[in-house]
């Protein structure tokens, strides 16, 4: 596939790709002679005659065949099929196959001062060079202690033998000439590290060879036309809908057939009018039966996704075609006139995270009422402004006059969110003292719309694997999820700790429930990373002051663990210690352990961006994972508290690089973690054996074990901040749904 040759089989492949009848030999021969004659005539007219090289003869033979195809099937179908010369390599993306593909001859590693950089692979195509590398061993102390400090921002590059330098271009480097088979991969410094903390100016010599014959290169098919025109309707009034002019907003441009489904790449470009714009929600896929189709975002095709475009990857599990592609949104418009109000606000001399000022002040903006309910100081030096607005108002602009924000965000809504609107502004340091706040430019809510298009595969595939539910060890899929029954009485005698948005507020906090959704109890309204003690009597959490707090649920008393601050909290089985990932006070995401009375706090690792997996059943050992910088791989470690020795166990290669969320079972037999697609869940023994898929295609997020062996998982609902909570006994795949719970699972207690 990577070598350009003209053979009867190659010609037959081209013919079959177009679905055309065999060409008459006389027609092909005549056309070939015509092209050769014209080429030689032009050659004689411009320079001395010479014979065509064999490569040109091959090329002309292929062109002859392609021209014949054009004459028979027409240019539209030819174009759609010719783009199959583009290929898709999983993990690399869409590549140009016009030149032979080359790869890295073998991985290359360099180790300096305990830090190892490894180039694991390289792929060289006709238009780009893709380099995959990973780094391990960077200590947390090498990174900035504050977001206000910037570390190294110099990007890596390739240096060819003649000195030519190829800088990074988004997701790769420029195409290396086909006659160059060596290069030096140069990393001036490890990204975001502080100068002088770790070695700099890394150089790794690379050698390139032709790609092996078994390299997976999947054809990329380009749709000849857009998806059918959208049936766009207004949903502002549930009792009546009004048509919207069709604008062909949704198109499917490229299709890739993966081993278990498809990748679709397309565009969504609704037409805006002057003074109006469209605020859209995420894409929704449904099949012909109305079933919602789960999907993930394929990171390796981001570069090939057009501006204003979309890309999704989904599995073909029991889908009925055509699929409907939907985007929902609302028409937003400005008031058409500059309007603003200002007021004085005293933040005090030293505002701290958790400080709140309740104001309840009404303002009039362009005849609309805007009530500023409160201002809150948050971590990362940010203020959040919470409003109650008229139903017609979507959002307002906020600024602190004379202070330049370095970030921020907000959630609009107006009538879409019961009039609640919030905006946050972050700064290098908290603006303090007497401040002037300016509120301006209300944005108004117009009609609500839904745009739809449809897509079906050109032909039904027979190469797809069996449904995941038929695979050994898989307990739950998107189809079986819909059939789960509520948990019976026995498991519901326990408790679930949830992280969720609190009713009638803009805050998120920790809430405790019985497993049937009853006896709701707000534990803390301004905290996260909660965890239940082994006996279910206490909750430890990370507070806004970056300290670990413990609440006794019976007495409602609270204590702060002195000097301990961080996230990813895990109680020891005996309830006497907490392992956590420390932050603040010069610490960057390394693992610590502390007694619950605040004594014997110690750091047990010095890597960076680690996560705690759990404790051994006897509370003597801590399991944790450390990520490679780059790549979806995590090393698993075990630390012995008595000997202070650390043992490397194995590497998880198929986990998500984002939030692995590893959790060790109470009996020490299994580590549960999120898969690379950010949707699946795997189990593996702590020695790395028997790694297998348990939940597939269900958007697994929160993971918790109970002491009795039940595994709880929060599954993110599509295009929603709500979740579905399930209970699972992996041995035997006994599974239930917990009704009435919809946040992210933080703790699980089942006696």
Give per-residue pLDDT as tens, 676-727. 888 899 999 999 999 999 998 888 899 999 999 999 999 988 777 788 999 9
How confident is residue 462, by pLDDT bands cut at 50, 70 and 90?
A: confident
Q: What is the mean pLDDT of residues 493-508?
A: 85
Which one-letter DSSP state was computed for residue 299? G
- Give the least confident one: 45-59, 416-430, 486-500: 45-59
Residue 230 resides in a domain: no
| Most confident listed range (4-13, 485-494, 676-685) | 676-685
Which one-letter DSSP state was computed for residue 142? G
Q: How many degrees, rounded to 5, is the angle at CA 735 between CA 732 and CA 738?
A: 160
- Give the least confident one: 11-20, 255-264, 424-433: 11-20
Residue ending a domain, choose from 163, 187, 210: 210
| Most confident listed range (103-117, 358-372, 461-475, 490-504) | 103-117
Structure confidence at residue 227 (pLDDT)? 52
Handedness of CA 469, 474, 475, 480 (dihedral sign): negative
Q: Are 557 and 703 members of one domain?
A: yes
Residue 497 resides in a domain: yes
CB neighbours of 72 closer than 8 A, spacing ≥ 6?
20, 23
How confident is residue 657, by pLDDT bands cut at 50, 70 and 90?
A: confident
Q: What is the mean pLDDT of residues 80-86?
A: 54
Q: Are 612 and 526 members of one domain?
A: yes
Per-residue pLDDT tens digits for 585-602: 555 678 999 999 988 889
Whether the per-residue pLDDT at 27 is higher than 80: the answer is: no
Q: Are 427 and 489 members of one domain?
A: no
DSSP string, 478-543: HHHHTTPPBP-TTGGGSEEEEEEEPTTSS-EEEEEEETTS-S-EEEESSEEEEEE-TTSSEEEEEE
Structure confidence at residue 247 (pLDDT)? 54
Residue 442 resides in a domain: no
**What is the residue range of 524's domain?**
468-749
How confident is residue 47, by pLDDT bands cut at 50, 70 and 90?
A: very low
Structure confidence at residue 148 (pLDDT)? 67
Distance CA(655)–CA(424), nearest Å, equals: 33
Whether the per-residue pLDDT at 664 is higher than 90: the answer is: yes
Residue ending a domain, choose from 408, 432, 456: 432
| Most confident listed range (39-48, 104-113, 457-466, 513-522) | 104-113
How confident is residue 44, by pLDDT bands cut at 50, 70 and 90?
A: very low
Whether the per-residue pLDDT at 249 is higher than 90: the answer is: no
Distance CA(671)–CA(686), nearest Å, equals: 6
Residue 257 resides in a domain: no
Q: Are 513 and 408 members of one domain?
A: no
Q: Are 660 and 589 members of one domain?
A: yes
Residue 95 resides in a domain: no
Per-residue pLDDT tens digits for 335-392: 766 789 999 999 999 998 888 899 999 999 888 889 999 999 987 788 999 998 888 8
User: Which of the two residues, 91 and 85, has the higher pLDDT score?
Assistant: 91
Structure confidence at residue 630 (pLDDT)? 74
How confident is residue 504, by pLDDT bands cut at 50, 70 and 90?
A: confident
Mean pLDDT of the chain: 82
Within 64-146, strands assigned E span 86-89, 93-96, 102-104, 108-112, 115-124, 129-136
What is the percent of the chain with per-residue pLDDT over 90, rounded to a whole number?
Answer: 48
560: left (phi over 0), alpha (psi -120 to 50) or beta: beta
How confident is residue 6, by pLDDT bands cut at 50, 70 and 90?
A: very low
Structure confidence at residue 55 (pLDDT)? 35
Of 74, 66, 57, 75, nearest in space to 10 by CA: 66
Distance CA(474)–CA(732), nearest Å, equals: 10
Q: What is the mean pLDDT of residues 478-493?
A: 81
Residue 136 resides in a domain: yes
Per-residue pLDDT tens digits for 434-451: 999 999 988 888 888 888
Whether the per-residue pLDDT at 202 is higher than 60: the answer is: yes
Q: Are 530 and 611 members of one domain?
A: yes
Whether the per-residue pLDDT at 24 is higher than 50: the answer is: no
Instruction: Assign 73 to helix, strand or coil.
Output: helix
Of 394, 449, 391, nearest in space to 242 by CA: 449
Whether the per-residue pLDDT at 2 is higher than 60: the answer is: no
pTM attached to this predicted model: 0.78
Distances (CA, A) of 306 to 254, 265, 269, 450: 11, 8, 11, 21
Structure confidence at residue 466 (pLDDT)? 63
How confident is residue 169, by pLDDT bands cut at 50, 70 and 90?
A: confident
Q: Are 735 and 611 members of one domain?
A: yes
Structure confidence at residue 740 (pLDDT)? 86
65-70: long-range contacts (C-beta < 8 A, 24 or more apart)? 65/11, 65/14, 65/15, 65/23, 65/28, 66/14, 67/31, 67/35, 68/23, 68/27, 68/28, 68/31, 69/14, 69/15, 69/18, 69/20
Q: Are 65 and 172 members of one domain?
A: no
Distance CA(625)–CA(651), nearest Å, equals: 9
Residue 649 resides in a domain: yes
Q: Are 744 and 623 members of one domain?
A: yes
Structure confidence at residue 36 (pLDDT)? 38
- Give the least confident one: 210-224, 638-652, 659-673: 210-224
Whether the per-residue pLDDT at 414 is higher than 70: the answer is: no
Q: Are 682 and 573 members of one domain?
A: yes
DSSP string, 331-359: EEEE-SS--EEEEEEE--SS--TT-EEEE
Within 553-699, strands assigned E span 558-560, 566-571, 577-584, 587-595, 602-603, 611-615, 621-627, 634-640, 645-652, 663-664, 671-674, 681-684, 692-695
Per-residue pLDDT tens digits for 716-730: 887 777 889 999 999
User: Which of the two residues, 118 and 461, has the higher pLDDT score?
Assistant: 118
Q: What is the mean pLDDT of residues 292-300?
A: 89
Q: Are 545 and 647 members of one domain?
A: yes
Domain count, the chain: 4
Cβ neighbours, 10 Å, residue 157:
16
Residue 284 resides in a domain: no
Whether the per-residue pLDDT at 523 is higher than 90: the answer is: yes
Per-residue pLDDT tens digits for 271-295: 766 667 777 778 999 999 998 898 9
Q: Are 114 and 205 members of one domain?
A: yes
């Amino acid at each position: 596939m990577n070598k350009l040759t003209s053979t009867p089989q190659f010609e037959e492949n081209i013919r079959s790709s177009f679905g055309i009848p065999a060409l008459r030999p006389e027609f092909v021969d005549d056309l070939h002679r015509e092209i050769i004659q014209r080429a030689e005539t032009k050659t004689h007219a411009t320079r001395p005659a010479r014979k065509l090289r064999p490569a040109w003869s091959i090329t002309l033979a292929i062109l002859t065949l392609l021209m014949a195809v054009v004459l028979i099937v027409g240019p539209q179908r030819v174009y759609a099929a010719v783009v199959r010369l583009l290929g898709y390599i999983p993990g690399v993306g869409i590549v140009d196959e016009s030149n032979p593909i080359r790869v890295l001859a073998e991985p290359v590693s360099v180790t300096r001062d305990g830090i190892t950089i490894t180039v694991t692979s390289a792929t060289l195509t006709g238009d780009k060079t893709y380099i995959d590398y990973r780094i391990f061993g960077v200590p947390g102390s090498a990174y900035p202690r504050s977001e206000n400090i910037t570390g190294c921002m110099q990007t890596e590059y390739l240096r060819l033998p003649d000195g030519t330098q190829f800088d990074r271009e988004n997701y790769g480097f420029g195409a290396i000439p086909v006659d160059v088979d060596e290069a030096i991969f140069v990393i001036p410094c490890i990204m975001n590290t502080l100068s002088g903390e770790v070695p700099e100016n890394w150089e790794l010599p690379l050698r390139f060879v032709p790609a092996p014959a078994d390299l997976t290169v999947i054809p990329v098919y380009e749709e000849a036309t857009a998806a059918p025109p959208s049936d766009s309707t207004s949903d502002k009034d549930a009792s009546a809908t009004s048509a919207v002019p069709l604008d062909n907003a949704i198109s499917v441009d490229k299709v890739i057939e993966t081993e278990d489904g498809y990748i679709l790449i397309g565009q969504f470009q609704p037409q805006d009018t002057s003074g109006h714009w469209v605020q859209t929600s995420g894409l929704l896929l449904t099949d012909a039966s109305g079933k919602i189709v789960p999907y993930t975002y394929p990171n390796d095709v981001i570069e090939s996704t057009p501006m204003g475009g979309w890309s999704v990857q989904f599995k073909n599990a029991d889908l009925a075609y055509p699929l409907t592609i939907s985007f929902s949104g609302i028409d937003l418009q400005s008031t058409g006139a500059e309007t603003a109000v200002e007021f004085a606000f005293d933040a005090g001399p030293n505002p701290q995270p958790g400080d709140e000022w309740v104001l309840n002040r009404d303002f009039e903006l362009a005849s609309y009422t805007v009530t500023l309910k409160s201002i809150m100081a948050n971590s990362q030096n940010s203020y959040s402004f919470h409003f109650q607005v008229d139903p017609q108002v979507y959002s307002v602009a906020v600024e602190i006059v004379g202070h330049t924000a370095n970030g921020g965000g907000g959630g609009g809504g107006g009538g879409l969110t019961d009039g609640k609107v919030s905006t946050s502004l972050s700064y290098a340091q908290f603006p303090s003292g007497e401040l002037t706040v300016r509120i301006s430019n209300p944005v108004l809510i117009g009609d609500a719309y839904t745009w739809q298009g449809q897509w079906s595969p050109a032909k039904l595939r027979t190469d797809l694997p069996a449904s995941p539910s038929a695979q050994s060890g898989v307990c739950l899929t998107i189809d079986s999820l819909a059939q789960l029954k509520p948990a019976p009485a026995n498991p519901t005698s326990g408790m679930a700790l949830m992280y969720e948005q609190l009713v009638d507020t803009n805050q998120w906090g920790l809430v405790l429930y019985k497993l049937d959704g009853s006896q709701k109890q707000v534990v803390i309204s301004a905290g996260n990373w909660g965890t239940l003690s082994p006996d279910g009597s206490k909750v430890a959490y990370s507070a806004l002051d970056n300290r670990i707090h413990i609440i006794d649920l019976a007495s409602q008393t609270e204590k702060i663990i002195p000097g301990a601050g961080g996230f990813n909290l895990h109680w020891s089985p005996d309830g006497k210690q907490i392992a956590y990932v420390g932050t603040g006070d010069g610490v960057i995401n390394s693992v610590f352990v502390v007694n619950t009375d605040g004594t014997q706090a110690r750091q047990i690792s010095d890597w960076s961006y680690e996560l705690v997996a759990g404790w051994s059943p006897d509370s003597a050992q801590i399991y944790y994972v450390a990520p490679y910088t780059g790549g979806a791989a995590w090393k698993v470690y075990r630390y012995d508290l008595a000997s202070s020795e650390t043992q490397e166990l194995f590497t998880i290669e198929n986990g998500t690089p984002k939030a692995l969320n590893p959790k060790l079972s109470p009996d020490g037999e299994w580590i549960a973690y999120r898969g690379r697609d950010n949707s699946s869940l795997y189990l593996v023994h702590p020695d790395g054996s028997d790694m297998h898929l348990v939940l597939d295609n269900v958007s697994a997020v929160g993971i918790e074990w109970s002491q009795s062996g039940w595994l709880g998982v929060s599954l993110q609902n599509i295009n929603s901040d709500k979740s579905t909570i399930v209970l699972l006994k992996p041995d035997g795949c006994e599974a239930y749904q917990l009704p009435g719970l919809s946040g992210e699972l933080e703790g699980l207690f089942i006696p």
